[in-house]
């Protein structure tokens, strides 16, 4: 009977979080909101000051343009039906170059980690290729591949690939040797060390490589479009500079900044997902 009475007693569930922890989470949330608000205010103030200085002729709006003229240029490009065409061409080239550079760079880094002999053989060549000004190879790529999106993507790869290889490879080499020896002690193969130790432990390095690749990919795409493209934001910048339509130049630069920010935020969300799921 006494046991039945005990079983019938309501079970009290322990709180998931303490009051101190809840207060800490609220403070963190408020801090994030405050940061976003301040960032937005700085952006609004910068564009507002830009507009005021242009209207007051403190700066020459013909040279620096101004926000209202940029908005008018965006509307005009939209009405002409070419706005999303140019944005789409540049974004597609940037995404393809970014993905290929990241994948190929990671694969090459894995191969170099797998073969220490090959890594030592290729190390000086990687250093030289990394220091080489790849932009100077643009005309060579155009002659080899032809004037088109393929040459732009190859230019993007040339700029981002070696950096990715070195970044990921250095991340592999920085992994604690004790963890690798532990797996080897239990009879782990090299492929198991790669999949169970190196890749999971190198996720921060991989995320950093992605963040670096974003900027390098956009540099490669814009440089390629400067040289060869007949469409895209880089083409609009070159065309606007040639015909002194600097509103078009500044509009393209602003759109590039927005596109690069969106791409960067995608990597930030990927990083949060990996941390949340402890991948």
Residue 277: is its pLDDT beyond 90? no
Instruction: Indicate the average pLDDT of the chain.
Output: 81
Q: Average the pLDDT over 184-211 and give the result.
A: 78
Whole-number pLDDT of residue 17:
61
Supply φ then ψ for residue 175, to 5 degrees: -65, 140
Residue 13: is its pLDDT beyond 70? no
- Contact present, 155 and 223 (Cβ < 8 Å): yes
Q: Among 215, 236, 217, 235, which Cα is nearest to 227's?
A: 235
pTM of the model: 0.76
Helix (H) or strand (E) holding 85: helix 83-114
Take residue 159 and report the two structure tokens written for it. Answer: 């700029």
Residue 5: is its pLDDT beyond 60? no
45-73 tens-digit pLDDT: 999 998 898 888 888 888 888 889 999 99
Take residue 96 and report the two structure tokens written for it. Answer: 């393809």
117-159 tens-digit pLDDT: 888 888 888 888 878 777 777 777 777 777 777 888 888 888 8
Take residue 87 and report the two structure tokens written for it. Answer: 């944005």
Lowest-pLDDT range, 66-80, 155-169, 251-265?
155-169
Percentage of the chain modeled with pLDDT above 70: 92
Residue 1: is its pLDDT beyond 50? no
212-228 tens-digit pLDDT: 888 888 888 888 888 77
């Amino acid at each position: 009977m006494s046991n039945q009475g005990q079983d019938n007693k309501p079970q009290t569930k322990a709180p998931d979080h303490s009051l101190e922890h809840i207060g800490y989470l609220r403070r963190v949330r408020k801090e994030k909101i405050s940061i976003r608000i301040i960032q937005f205010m700085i952006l609004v103030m910068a564009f507002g000051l830009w507009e005021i200085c242009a209207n007051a002729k403190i700066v020459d709006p013909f040279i620096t343009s101004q926000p209202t003229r940029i908005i008018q240029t965006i509307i005009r490009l939209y009405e002409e039906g070419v706005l999303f065409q140019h944005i789409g061409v540049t974004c597609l080239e940037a995404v393809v170059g970014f993905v290929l550079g990241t994948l190929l760079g990671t694969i090459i880094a894995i191969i170099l980690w797998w073969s220490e002999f090959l890594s030592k053989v290729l190390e000086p060549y990687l250093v030289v290729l990394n220091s080489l000004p790849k932009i100077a190879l643009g005309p060579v790529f155009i002659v080899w591949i032809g004037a088109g999106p393929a040459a732009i993507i190859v230019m993007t790869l040339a700029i981002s690939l070696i950096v990715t290889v070195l970044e990921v490879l250095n991340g592999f080499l920085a992994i604690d040797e004790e963890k690798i020896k532990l797996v080897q002690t239990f009879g782990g193969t090299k492929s198991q060390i790669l999949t169970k130790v190196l890749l999971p432990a190198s996720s921060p390095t991989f995320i950093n490589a992605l963040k670096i690749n974003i900027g390098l990919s956009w540099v490669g795409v814009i440089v390629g479009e400067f040289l060869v493209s007949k469409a895209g934001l880089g083409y609009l910048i070159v065309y606007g500079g040639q015909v002194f339509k600097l509103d078009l130049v500044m509009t393209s630069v602003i759109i590039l900044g927005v596109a690069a920010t969106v791409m960067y935020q995608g990597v930030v969300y990927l990083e949060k997902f990996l941390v949340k799921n402890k991948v």
